[in-house]
Amino acid sequence: SQTIHQWPATLVQPVGSPLSLECTVEGTSNPNLYWYRQAAGRGLQLLFYSVGIGQISSEVPQNLSASRPQDRQFILSSKKLLLSDSGFYLCAWSEDRDRNEKLFFGSGTQLSVL
Amino acid sequence: QQPVQSPQAVILREGEDAVINCSSSKALYSVHWYRQKHGEAPVFLMILLKGGEQKGHEKISASFNEKKQQSSLYLTASQLSYSGTYFCGTPDQGAQKLVFGQGTRLTINP
């Protein structure tokens, strides 16, 4: 069966520090991968998605970046965090078939930038 | 473009019914519904693929009106476990990504 791992679960970082969040999927190959962010009490904002190794689509211009160095690994990074980067970050995956595949979410990372 | 959900929040007593609506200004090819408990990841509920399609799981069902570009989620005889935030999601045409509405917070009180 397929599983998705996301870590860390909680992170507290000072403004201006770097960030690296990692997500891995097991039990499937060539998945579509996604990073969403959720501000406190708000909706799910799509940040990046990837349909293959090295293929990253950015949805919102900001100081975050994403990379997919391996088929089932998706990394969210920042060189310098801002206060506005605080939020609940969710990694998700879907089968690479068509637009109608459901998303499976990781357990999320609660990031607080102070 | 982000679909629009209404209402933004609902408070019910256990056993009451609720309807959550999701509409789009663009043509809809399918609609996903997810539920998120506080502090947890969203969990898939159902997907509707065709206009007019209706689906159900226990006492939660949904309909999809392709012509009106909207979907509705129906929660019948609500249980405490139904509390959470409900999101509808619509695939973006030509791209394999899902765009979510702003969410509807459902609170069920005993």
The domain segmentation of chain B, as residue ranges, is 4-109
CA B23 to CA B31: how far, in whole Å? 10
- Candidates A32, A43, A57; nearest CB to B102: A43
Nearest C-alpha in A relative to B33: A102
**Best CA proximity match to B81, nearest among B25, B41, B38, B49:** B38
CA A25 to CA A46: how far, in whole Å? 19
CA A40 vs CA A44, A89, B96: distances in Å:
10, 11, 26
For an interface test with B, the pick among A3, A99, A105, A111 (most B C-beta atoms closer than 10 Å) comes out as: A99
Q: Is the sign of the CA dihedral A33, A35, A38, A42 positive or negative?
A: negative
B96 with A102: Cβ contact below 8 A = no
Query: Three-state SS for A18?
Result: coil
**Best CA proximity match to A37, nearest among A1, A106, A86, A97:** A86
Residue A42: partners with Cβ closer than 8 Å, 6 or more residues away: B102, B103
B47 with A100: Cβ contact below 8 A = yes
Summarised one tens digit per residue, pLDDT across range A48-75 is 999 999 999 988 868 999 999 999 999 9
Summarised one tens digit per residue, pLDDT across range B49-87 is 876 666 677 789 999 888 888 999 999 999 999 999 999
pLDDT of residue B52: 64
Query: Three-state SS for B81?
Result: helix
pLDDT of residue A18: 97
pLDDT of residue B102: 94
C-alpha Rg value of chain B to the nearest Å: 13
Average pLDDT over residues B14-21: 96
- Residues of B with CB below 8 A from A103's CB? 32, 34, 42, 44, 89, 98
- Residues of A with CB below 8 A from B98's CB? 34, 46, 94, 103
Residue B44 CA to its chain's centroid (Å)? 10
Average pLDDT over residues B98-110: 94
Query: What domains are defined for chain A?
Result: 3-113 (2.60.40.10)
A100 with B102: Cβ contact below 8 A = no
- Candidates B30, B49, B97; nearest CB to A49: B97
- The domain defined by B4-109 folds into Immunoglobulin-like (2.60.40)
Residue A83, phi then psi, degrees to nearest 5: -55, -35
Query: Three-state SS for B57?
Result: strand
- Candidates A59, A99, A106; nearest CB to B96: A99
